[in-house]
Structure 1
Amino acid sequence: MDGKPGLRERKKQRTREAISEAAIALFLEQGFNQVSVAQVAEAAEVSKRTLFAYFPAKEDLVTHRLADHETEIARVVRARPPRSAPLPAVRDHFLRGLRERDPITGLNDVPEVRRLHRMILETPSLVARMQRFKAGAESALAQALRETADAPELTARLAAVQIVAVHWALAQDNAARLAYGEKADARCAGALADARFAFELLENGLRDLGAPR
């Protein structure tokens, strides 16, 4: 076995991507609340039953694109060099993401990304769905801190809530600025400064988290 997905899995992935692409195109053109699931199914040339098999809720048609990022901070913490603290690893990863215009930092003004962020910000049900990702990120990070930083359960949970909240607030601020017209290049210096300041504030309270003993 070479670890590659089989034909069936590849076909399922193509179907999933086709449905998502059709949905995003319709949502960006007409508005999330103005497009029905039936319209998406018709555009993707699948039945509603098939659509719901891949996406149980209408909001999933949008937010599934961000699903891989739900555990991103936890992965960064797990992958940090031995005997290094978690917080600097998260900070450096976020700063690098800003410089590289990673959409998850909010600092990406590619037109489709900017329109997608604006749609999410303006749609209460999508905002609510994103909160589930935030909760998932907190849970995954807390687990990573318990396992790699030898943090007690309460410490890990409280630290995860703080780190994810800062990460989330910075990204949301950038996304909102760009969604309403600011350019990524113009925002970059301010985004970097805000991120450094935010992580310095975090460091005051989490200085000893995962520090070598």
Structure 2
Amino acid sequence: MSLRERKKVQTRAAISAAAISLFIEHGFDQVSITQVAEAADVSRRTLFAYFPTKEDLVVHRFADHEDEPARVVRGRPAGQSPLAALHEHYLDALRRRDPATGLTDGPEQLSLYRLLRSTTPLMARMLQFNESAETQLAAALRETADTAELPARLAAAQIVSVQWTLSIANYERAVAGTRSDDAYPAAAAAADQAFALLAGGLSTLWP
């Protein structure tokens, strides 16, 4: 990565960090774009160059996970079903305490979760995020698992919804004060149960 690109990444991260800090302290609706720009020491024009909307300042933290299910399916070993690959990947993420699974003790991640859950525009953007994840996963299923269009779309919708539901449940435990090490056994068991239920319905697609 060139020096210019590294500086762009640093600027983007600094703007987002300033915004999220203000949103957590004062509330999403109570903070203006001008206030965010001033806190990050950039112009409004620069801010909008990195983040076209106010919601993007928060949701971009999840950007790496938007195409994650599709990447897992595309990168799975030969002979492994898409669902088995996704199940294995989710369990590994739980073991690593990946914040995207909700299994975390990080104060910043928990504050970010509270912000998302209490802010209607941000939850609406997360639904768009999930729709994009479904679209990309469906494409991966069509291209790598010989799955027809409608079954691929239906399967992707179920898988993304299940993963989202599991992660929200994990976050709720964390917010209630349960340490990630204590929550892990229940989280892993819930993931196993959820993917078993998915397998029961999707087994005709990928025996």
Considering the TM-score relative to the shorter chain, is it more than 0.5? yes
Q: Equivalent residues in 2 for 1:1-213 (5 A)?
A: 5-211=1-207
TM-score computed with the length of structure 2 as normaliser: 0.95
User: 5+ unaligned residues in a row in structure 2: which ranges?
Assistant: none
Q: Runs ≥4 in structure 1, deviation > 6 angstroms?
A: none
2:30, 2:186 → 1: CA distance? Answer: 36
1:176, 1:33 → 2: CA distance? Answer: 23
Task: Give how far 1:14 is off.
Answer: 1.7
2:4, 2:185 → 1: CA distance? Answer: 46
1:63, 1:183 → 2: CA distance? Answer: 25
Task: Give how far 1:34 is off.
Answer: 2.1
TM-score computed with the length of structure 1 as normaliser: 0.93
Task: Give how far 1:119 is off.
Answer: 1.1
1:188, 1:84 → 2: CA distance? Answer: 25
Q: CA contact under 8 A between 1:142 and 1:156: conserved in structure 2? A: yes
1:118, 1:178 → 2: CA distance? Answer: 11
User: 5+ unaligned residues in a row in structure 1: which ranges?
Assistant: none
Q: Residue deviations 1:139-183, cap 9 Å, x none? A: 000000001100111111111111111111101111122123222
Aligned length: 207
Q: CA RMSD, aligned part only?
A: 1.2
Report the secondary structure of 1:83's partner residue. Answer: coil
Q: CA contact under 8 A between 1:150 and 1:210: conserved in structure 2? A: no
Task: Give how far 1:21 is off.
Answer: 1.4
1:155, 1:129 → 2: CA distance? Answer: 25
2:25, 2:202 → 1: CA distance? Answer: 45
Task: Give how far 1:96 is off.
Answer: 1.1
Report the secondary structure of 2:29's partner residue. Answer: helix
Q: CA contact under 8 A between 1:84 and 1:210: conserved in structure 2? A: no
Identity %: 57
1:9, 1:109 → 2: CA distance? Answer: 31
